[in-house]
């Protein structure tokens, strides 16, 4: 009898714990928040936007990280329909697929880039990633990293390989625009053979996104092509789309491309 009572009590505690977690997420977590502060494990602080008010908790909830380009324009202008806001913005793609959208700002306030300060930025992004997946109870099979230009470079150079090698993610992918070169720090390979089949990696760049057309001499097309070639050799499901009539900026195309790729992945 005492054993049965203990089992009932433990069962009740477990159910109560699940209910409390659900209530906390519903009442506090699933809200849109702008400039939300976060301090990483290394003590570095920055802020991020979270768009979560649209998610349906009766279904599995995924997450879409967007790493901004140099200068953080997308972060400072979240209502701009060319990127985040509006019916054709990236947020609309996240809403369609029941995904929370996270737009973090680089902690590098000097350059306002993701790819320059390798002593700080990677660990900040890693800590934020772990915080978001735990706090919002994210479905590990539907985790996506996306980014533009310098944000795409950061994704392919470090963040995507780190996610695959150091987390429990089981599906999703990475989508990079106007960049996304091969990860120099990983040299020959990314060790995650069990996850390759469930992870898609895509690039999109303007056909004219070349060094000749860039004031900074940045060749987004070449970076994307080199990155696709490198990840393809690792066995990933890769593809690249070169968009006629476009150079570095792909205004108005980010959301539709993200929506299509995630839909094709069955999410």
- The answer to whether residues 255 and 166 belong to one domain is yes
Strand (E) or helix (H) holding 73: helix 73-76
C-alpha–C-alpha distance, residues 82 and 168, integer Å:
33
CB 123 within 8 A of CB 44: yes
List the one residue out of 158, 215, 151 whose CA is nearest residue 178: 151
- The answer to whether residues 25 and 50 belong to one domain is no
The predicted-structure confidence for 177-234, as pLDDT tens digits, reads as follows 999 999 876 555 566 656 677 789 999 999 999 999 999 999 999 999 999 999 998 8
- The answer to whether residues 95 and 5 belong to one domain is no
Please calculate the CA angle 87-89-94 and round it to the nearest 5 degrees: 95
- The answer to whether residues 182 and 247 belong to one domain is yes
- The answer to whether residues 42 and 156 belong to one domain is yes
Domain interval for residue 7: 1-29
- The answer to whether residues 134 and 47 belong to one domain is yes
- Label residue 267 by pLDDT band (50, 70, 90): confident
How many domains would you assign to the chain?
2
> Looking at residue 118, which CATH number applies to its domain?
3.40.50.1820
List the one residue out of 209, 198, 135 whose CA is nearest residue 172: 198
């Amino acid at each position: 009898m005492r054993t049965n009572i203990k089992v009932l009590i433990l069962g009740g505690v477990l159910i109560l714990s699940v209910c409390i977690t659900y209530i906390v997420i519903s009442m506090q977590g699933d809200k849109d928040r702008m400039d939300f502060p976060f301090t990483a494990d290394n003590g570095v602080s920055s802020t991020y936007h979270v768009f979560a008010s649209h998610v349906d908790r009766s279904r599995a909830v995924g997450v879409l990280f967007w790493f901004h380009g140099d200068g953080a324009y997308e972060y400072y202008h979240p209502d701009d329909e060319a990127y985040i806001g509006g019916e054709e913005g990236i947020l609309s793609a996240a809403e369609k697929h029941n995904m929370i959208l996270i737009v973090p700002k680089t902690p590098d306030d000097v350059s306002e880039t993701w790819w320059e300060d390798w002593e700080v930025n990677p660990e900040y992004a890693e800590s934020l990633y772990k915080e978001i997946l735990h706090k919002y109870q994210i479905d590990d099979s539907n985790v996506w990293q996306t980014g533009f230009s310098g944000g795409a470079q950061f994704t392919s150079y470090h963040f995507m390989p780190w996610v695959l090698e150091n987390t429990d993610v089981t599906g999703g992918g990475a989508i990079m625009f106007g960049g996304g070169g091969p990860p120099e720090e990983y040299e020959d390979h990314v060790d995650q053979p069990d996850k390759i089949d469930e992870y898609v990696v895509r690039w999109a760049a303007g056909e004219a996104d070349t060094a000749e057309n860039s004031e900074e001499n940045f060749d987004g097309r070449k970076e994307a092509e080199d990155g696709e070639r490198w990840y393809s050799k690792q066995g990933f499901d890769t593809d690249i789309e070169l968009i006629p009539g476009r150079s570095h900026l792909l205004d108005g195309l980010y959301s539709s491309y993200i929506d299509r790729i995630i839909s094709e992945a069955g999410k």
